[in-house]
Structure 1
Amino acid sequence: MKLERQGSARNDAAACFHSDLLPLGRYPLKLDDGPHKRTMNVSDMPGERENFFDVEDFDSEVLHSVTADCAPGDYYQLHTVMRRWSTETKLTERKKAAFRILSDICFLYFEPGSRTRPYKPVIQLEDSRSFSLDDLTPVDLTVLESVAAQVTRPDLRGRIWDVLWLKRRDLGVSTAISAIEAYSAVNIPTGQHQRTQLVVNCWDRALSLARMIRGAGDITIEPLEAVISDAFNRALTEGGTLALELTYVSVRYGLDADRRDERSEALQAIAATYRENGQHYAQREFLEAAARWKVAKQRRGAYWNIVIQIAESHESDANLELASSKPSYIRIATILEQAIQQYRRVPRQFRPASMEMQLAQLQQRLLTAGALAVEEMSIIRSDPLDMSEMVDGAKARVSGRSIFAALIGLSTLFPIPNHEELLSAERELMVEGLGIYSQVTFHEDGRLTAKVPAPSLAEDADFLSARAISNFAHRIEMVVRGAIVPGLETFTREHCISERQLLQIVVHSAAIPPGREAFFVKGLAAGFDWDFMSSSHLLVPQLEAFLRYHIQGRGGDTTVLSPEGIHTEASLGTLLGMELTTDILGPDMVFVLEAFLVNPHGPNFRNVQAHGLISESAAGGVHAVFAWWLCLHLVVLPFWASGKSRKGPESQE
């Protein structure tokens, strides 16, 4: 019997690597590795290999020996050991070539559920990248076809047949069938394991292929689904992360549809155990998995009860942090914000009678914690720096850190300017006679788009604001070129962040409205791929949704009533002008958003983009980069802290 399966959009941890182990792309790619630098030249490309290969040139026993210690499904580890053997002097050139090809196909970003592009380069810079399937030559594919049947490791054999299915469709559906059989031969682990995702990825890909070629040959999906179901039963008794990984796959492919309630209740029972042990993060992970099974059925009372449990878990987490010897009020405020957002998700017909009072109490606790959080923050200032120093500083803030620490460094490359200080600086220039001229702004096509007459007083608010916005617009270009771009280059050189990882960050961010997660994930992912035209078109409209959600959540009205009695949604400029918006974001962030997005004296990026006035080059230029970074900043940082807490808890109602 032959089997088939499909995969999920996850990747193994190929973010940490040594430059000597990198497979080569079509472009020269320079990587810094400590004090040494390695430049990969076109002459090293996979295509520059022997143009003849005989199956006898391949030694399967050597391959089995050198990969014996690699964990199942760990393709980066396989890449590493085979890359080293591709330079082994004891081997013939043809055997080295075989190791090189196998090493290359293991060094790829893996999205097992994708039908069209399951494999992408791990590193993608603006003008260079690491190995791609497009780099495989006909000779390389012939080598893979020759050695596939001799490879004994099922995960590696599955990868070979999978690549042949994608690149050699002339071989027929048998390549996909062979890939399915190999992937489904990877044993699903039992007990507590650190990297269950790697194995589940193999089964995920098998399911994906099985559905893709359904009906094309002697293929049945049921045996695959039965194995997954049995593995899920074992995982539920063990209480480890395997149950979470199998939930992701099972729900997406509609497995165990008749056991959804049973699965959800079992996961809730595991979550209760973690709650009793004070492990609230793990509790929420299992509750969210339980909710997935309920969503797959319907969002009824049982589903919303799980959401309430998730909110209560956030509350318990905040209480634990508060009771610690050195509580972090930034963390407490973040957790309380997440608890409030979970409670607000619950439709009124499913809310218990006490929830409104509970929300009011949480809001007051949040205001208090937010005020104390501001005191924990510090402003870092420095003397004026030239661009080279700024570039070096940006790289240092990101380089050599873990992926999440680097992400925080990347999202804090640019300190949000103090609005009052900007106005004071312009006021001083006016007093000194250096800022007494009228302010005009031209569009790139020469049209006059904004004008402010020369001021009559040093306190001319309109003129001061226009000057501050104009100067801030100039600063954006300097910051993008001197900090954000170098920081992003450093991040993408050292790390490869997947959409799944971004989803975890976005889902747990207090900033993101429910139902908007996919927009932010796709938009941020596009930026990490240097596709800022796509990222800005995805993200900028969501900033309005972001503002509306938080304004409405605090009782504000985001609509405008026309003389005819028609309610229409307020524009972004109107939303930014609301007093409640300043309470939420603080005057500094409101200034940045207004100056960048909607003010004609600044880039006016939102309006230029929304009305189709933006040029092709500008759509992916410095302002698009800044828009992407600004959204990353809002997602990663507690955006609300400075705004909510500015007045102090005793003065906020």
Structure 2
Amino acid sequence: MSILEMEVSTLEFLDVLRQPAFDKILKCSEVSELLKLDGSDAEHFLHCIFTMMFEPENSRDPFSPFFRYGRSHSPGIGDFNGNSMFCLAAACLEVKNPELRARICDLIWCEKKGSNVFIAHMAVDAYIESAEALIEAGESISAMRRIERALRLSYLLRRAPENRVGTVTDYVLKIINDDQFLGYPDRMLRLAYEFGIGELELLYSLSRQQATEMGAEGKYRAAIDMLELSVSCAKQLQDKAKEHEVYINMASCYEAEAESMPEALGCGPLMSAIEALRAVPETRERQEALFRKLRDHQRALQHSMITFSIPSGDLSELVNRSVRMVRGQDFIDSIFRLVLAVHSPTNIDKLRQTTAEALEGSIFFDLGAEHYDGDGLPIAVTPGVNDSTNAREIALENHLAQALKRDHQVVVRACLLPAIEEIANSYFVGKDGWAPFLINNYFVPRDHIEFYDRGLTAGLKGDFMLAAHILIPQIENSLRYVIAQSGQEPTRLFGNGDQDREGLKALLANPTIEQIFGKDATYALKTILTDKVYGDLRNQISHGYISSNEANGDASVMLWWIVLWILALPYRDYWAAKYSAEFFAEWPRRTAD
């Protein structure tokens, strides 16, 4: 019986929740040890409630399914039986444990099942009570998350009678004034800034102080987060002197972070340092010095952009091999295995040679063809071979695009999808789960990290349609970002004085892109996104021509993987140092490509 069909009475819920063992629970995740999925309906129902993932940063939907892949997922908001939720609402007043009471009341409020503002207020009070118990037990991370949820929920209800905004904000202000940041001053201060808790001068001063302390300890990422908050406060205070001072400190912090890294990884921080100085007048000389340093780091990055491959056996064995290959020590290891071992960008020179040999003397090479999209519109023509060298080249390139598409279809279905599903079923990727690959990445501007985080997460969950919609515009912007790091201006100046950004095709044709990504990855990216014979994915998605099935198809999966390959490859040496010994013990090393 599904959870949507499960009818549970108030008394059945109370029989479970009144058990003494529940009084000692600190976190909902501990409940799974007390409740059995194969027990009573009430146990099963409550087990599903307490094992949902808690995401306090999402004001409207703070709970998500424990697992999700494609269209399948465990219960989440909206999946519970309505009558049972009404009965649970009647039982929640007798739940003594604040952690469990907070979860139940919050879910009832989110489900809008027999709930009113009073039950939401109960959830806020219970979250604060739970946070205090967690602080006392030394569980500062969990406590911080409960406080954040209480704050966001109370602000959703700030216009309701007897709201709890004052209670929660006073609690947060007390923590800040006592310098009791629960070990997470960045999160606490950001929440205070977001909800206007405390004076701006206080937040500015505290964030600068925390940034100085963290920078001195070599915690550059946390220090920069605090400096970004300081900039926001200075802007609201309309104090240009403070703003410029913070930007200069931020540039110094980025530069120090770059110096603490291997040269190949320092490009992102140095570019961020230059961007910070651009907001400060009379810093041109220092910007130029950082650009010179950036060139040295870029040369090191180009030398590191190599990978290795392991020859595959029979096609029938590829699925099992790919699944076994991504069973790493942790999520980071598994992702590196996915991009470095399961597949590598198709060798385009070898595929071109194979395609040319296969077509030599073939009637298909002589006749030519027309290509149509899903609506039956002619989108490309492959010319028949004649004495024109140009016709032969066009025909070969069109057949090469088709050959690459066929190769990608095999790789996606036999290698990538099974491996991605294995990773998705093995790990939960929460907020900032992709941060090790995105922060300070030469491909990702700092203020675009969330786009990549959501796009990668969507693909990992099997929603490649959403991933493609998010990632395609970001790829174009990131290509400009990479070209700008090389000292070029990725714009065009027209005769009438107008200036416009370079388009995707021009960006992909820039020699800098191939120098950094390599011929094979650049060709694959260009073909998937812009080649009409392959499918012209960027144009099809941007203009809404593509069907949902096609948007969730092989091209979107392959694009997602290539983006991940680009993001992960600069950190290859880190993976090799920490994880590769165990990997190569199982998969003997082959010659590098």
Pairing partner for 2:562 from 611, 626, 630: 630
Is contact 2:10–2:88 with CA below 8 Å preserved after alignment?
A: no
**Contact preservation (8 Å) 1:391, 1:483:** yes
- After superposition, residues 486-635 of structure 1 pair within 5 angstroms as 486-502=418-434, 505-562=437-494, 564=496, 566-635=498-567
Q: What is the CA deviation profile of residues 76-99 of structure 1, one whole-angstrom value per residue up to 9, with x for unaligned ones?
A: 233x22324x66xxxxx7xx4444
When residues 81 and 246 of structure 1 are mapped into structure 2, their CA distance, relative to the original with a 3 A threshold, is same
State which of 155, 180, 188 in structure 2 corresponds to 1:246.
Answer: 188
The match for 1:207 among 148, 151, 156 is: 151
Structure 1 pair 197/150, CA: closer, same or farther in 2 (3 Å)? Answer: same
Q: Which residue of 2 aligns with 1:295?
A: 232
CA contact (8 A) 1:511 1:639 kept: no
- Does the 8 Å CA contact 1:314/1:336 hold for their aligned counterparts? no
Give the Å deviation of 1:394.
2.3
Q: Distance in 2 between matches of 1:225 and 1:591?
A: 54
Give the aligned partner of residue 75 of structure 1. Answer: 28
Tell me how far apart the structure 1 counterparts of residues 135 and 386 of structure 2 sit (CA, whole Å): 75
**Higher relative contact order, structure no. (Cα contacts within 8 Å, ≥ 6 residues apart):** 1
Map of 1:316 onto structure 2 = 259
Q: Deviations over 1:107-155 (max 9, x none)?
A: 1122224343222212112342112233322453244234323323212
Indicate how the Cα distance of structure 1 residues 627 and 44 shifts in structure 2: closer, same or farther if over 3 A, else same. Answer: same
Distance 1:101 1:549, change over 3 A: same
**Matched-pair contact (CA < 8 Å) for 2:48–2:75:** yes
1:312, distance to aligned residue in structure 2 (A): 2.2
Equivalent pair of 2:528/2:536 in contact (CA under 8 Å): yes
Distance in 1 between residues matched to 2:29 and 2:74, nearest whole Å: 14
The 2-side partners of 1:452 and 1:137 are apart by 61
The more displaced of 535-544 and 418-427 is 418-427
Task: Supply the AA of the counterpart residue of 2:22.
Answer: H
- 2:110 is matched with 166
Counterpart CA distance in 2 for 1:383 and 1:63 is 53
Q: 1:272-311: CA deviations, max 9, x gaps?
A: 4413xxxxxx332133134224324428213312321331
The secondary structure found in structure 1 opposite 2:433 is helix
Instruction: Return closer, same or farther for 1:115/1:268 CA change in 2, 3 Å cut-off.
Output: closer
Letter of the aligned partner of 2:534 in structure 1? G
CA distance in 2, matches of 1:419, 1:514: 32
Supply the distance in 2 between the matched residues of 1:313 and 1:621 (Cα, whole angstroms): 43
Tell me the CA shift for residue 640 of structure 1: 12
Contact 1:82/1:102 (CA < 8 Å) preserved in 2? no
1:152 is aligned to 2:96: yes
SS at match of 1:588: helix
**Aligned counterpart for 1:415 among listed residues 328, 341, 344:** 344
User: Partners in 2 of 1:83 and 1:307 — Cα distance?
Assistant: 50
Corresponding pairs, count: 561
Residues 1:390 and 1:232: Cα distance change in structure 2 (over 3 Å): farther
SS at match of 1:184: helix
* 2:537–2:555 CA contact under 8 A, matched in 1: yes
Q: 1:292 to 1:191 in 2, by over 3 A?
A: farther
Q: TM-score, normalised by structure 2?
A: 0.84
**What's the offset of the Cα at 1:313?**
2.6
C-alpha distance in 2 between matches for 1:399 and 1:273: 38
Deviation of 1:339 (Å): 2.7
Distance 1:501 1:494 in 2: 14
Structure 1 590/515 Cα, relative in aligned 2: closer, same or farther at 3 Å?
same
Q: Distance in 2 between matches of 1:144 and 1:165?
A: 12
Aligned equivalents of 2:277, 2:566: Cα separation in 1: 24
Match for 1:341: what amino acid?
S
Hey, what's the Cα distance between the residues in 2 that align with 1:192 and 1:548?
49
Q: Name the residue aligned to 1:392.
A: 320
- The structure-2 alpha-carbon separation of the partners of 1:434 and 1:358, relative to structure 1 and needing over 3 Å to count, comes to farther
Q: Does 1:53 align with 2:11?
A: yes
Corresponding residue of 1:366: 297
Unpaired runs of at least 5, structure 2 = 574-593
2:286 matched to which residue of 1? Answer: 355
Instruction: List gaps (5 residues or longer) in structure 1.
Output: 1-42, 88-92, 276-281, 319-330, 642-653
Question: How much has 1:392 moved relative to structure 2?
Answer: 1.6
C-alpha deviation, 1:430, in angstroms: 5.8
Q: Supply the distance in 2 between the matched residues of 1:151 and 1:415 (Cα, whole angstroms).
A: 54
| Deviation of 1:591 (Å) | 0.9
- The structural deviation recorded for 1:267 is 0.7
Query: Separation in 2 of the partners of 1:225 and 1:490?
Result: 43
Shift of 1:270: 2.0
Distance 1:629-1:144 versus aligned 2 partners, 3 A rule: same
Match of 1:373, as an amino acid? S
Among 383, 391, 415, the alignment partner of 1:483 is 415
Q: Is the Cα–Cα contact under 8 Å of residues 52 and 76 in structure 2 kept in the other structure?
A: yes
Which of 127, 133, 149 is the matching residue for 1:183?
Answer: 127
Query: Would you say the 8 A contact 1:336–1:362 is kept in 2?
Result: no
Give 1:285's aligned residue: 222
- Of 353, 378, 385, which aligns to 1:424? 353
1: CA distance between counterparts of 2:486 and 2:571? 15
Whether the 8 Å CA contact 1:123–1:493 is kept in 2: the answer is: yes
Please give the alpha-carbon distance, in whole angstroms, between the structure 2 residues aligned to 1:351 and 1:304.
13
Query: Structure 1's 384 and 430: CA in aligned 2 closer, same or farther, altered over 3 A?
Result: farther
Residues 348 and 232 of structure 1: CA distance in aligned 2, closer, same or farther (over 3 Å): closer
Please identify, of 541-550 and 364-373, the stretch whose mean Cα deviation from structure 2 is larger: 364-373
Q: Are residues 548 and 482 of structure 1, via their aligned partners in 2, closer, same or farther at CA, if it must alter by over 3 Å?
A: same
Q: Is the 8 A contact 1:295 1:303 kept in 2?
A: no
Is the alpha carbon distance of 1:434 and 1:611 closer, same or farther for their aligned partners in structure 2, counting shifts above 3 Å?
A: same
CA contact (8 A) 1:183 1:206 kept: yes
Query: What is the match of residue 578 of structure 2?
Result: none
In 2: Cα distance, 1:351 partner to 1:149 partner: 63
Q: Tell me how far apart the structure 1 counterparts of residues 405 and 152 of structure 2 sit (CA, whole Å).
A: 47
Counterpart CA distance in 2 for 1:378 and 1:220 is 55
**Deviation (angstroms), 1:564:** 4.7
State the AA in 2 paired with 1:526. Answer: A
Aligned residue type for 2:223:
F
Q: Distance in 1 between matches of 2:53 and 2:149?
A: 13
The answer for the alignment partner of 1:470 in structure 2 is 402
More helix by share: 2
Letter in 2 for 1:149: L
Question: In percent, how many aligned pairs have the same letter?
Answer: 18
How many Å separate the matches in 2 of 1:446 and 1:44? Answer: 45
Does the Cα contact within 8 Å between 2:468 and 2:559 map onto a contact in 1? yes
Give the TM-score normalised by the residue count of structure 1. Answer: 0.77
Are 2:381 and 1:454 aligned? no
What's the CA shift string for 1:255-274, capped at 9, x where partnerless?
22431221112212321441
Cα deviations across residues 188-247 of structure 1 (Å, max 9, x unaligned)? 566995x533221111111112111113222242332222223234556x8x74223313
Specify whether residues 248 and 410 from structure 1 end up closer, same or farther in structure 2 by C-alpha distance, changes over 3 A only. Answer: farther
For residues 541 and 83 of structure 2, the distance between their equivalents in structure 1, rounded to whole angstroms, comes to 47
Kept in 2: contact 1:398–1:407 (CA 8 A): yes
**Aligned equivalents of 1:132 and 1:509: distance in 2?**
34
Distance 1:364 1:538 in 2: 30
For structure 1, which segment, 222-231 or 405-414, has the greater mean C-alpha deviation from structure 2 after superposition? 405-414
Please report how far the alpha carbon of residue 464 of structure 1 lies from its aligned counterpart in structure 2 after TM superposition: 4.0
CA-atom RMSD in angstroms: 3.3
CA distance in 2, matches of 1:302, 1:157: 47
